[in-house]
Amino acid sequence: MAKENCLIVHAAGKQLDLLRGEASRIAKGSKVDWWIDRADVGTRFCFEDVKAKEAFAITCDSFGIPCRDG
């Protein structure tokens, strides 16, 4: 799958669980698939759709969790 719709987040524990739930909610609302991969530093969240990725980035920002394209 294309990696251009991925974000690398720096979270662990309950924050990571929270983000998994948000990613699932966003993907379900957008009717797209999503998946998680390990990154060198952090966790990579990938979406089939760029709009879902952008919505997830906004969610990360609202929780104060750093993320970057990945």
Q: What are the tens digits of pLDDT across the range 16-56?
A: 999 999 999 999 999 999 999 998 889 999 999 999 999 99
Asked whether 67 and 5 are in contact (CB, 8 A), the reply is no
pLDDT level of residue 3 (50, 70, 90 thresholds): low
pLDDT level of residue 4 (50, 70, 90 thresholds): confident
Count of residues in the chain:
70
Cα 34 to Cα 20, 43, 67, distances in angstroms: 10, 13, 16
Considering the entire predicted model, what is its pTM? 0.90
State the number of CA atoms in the 13 A half-sphere of 62 facing the CB: 9
Backbone angles phi, psi at 7, to 5 degrees: -130, 140
Asked whether 43 and 36 are in contact (CB, 8 A), the reply is yes
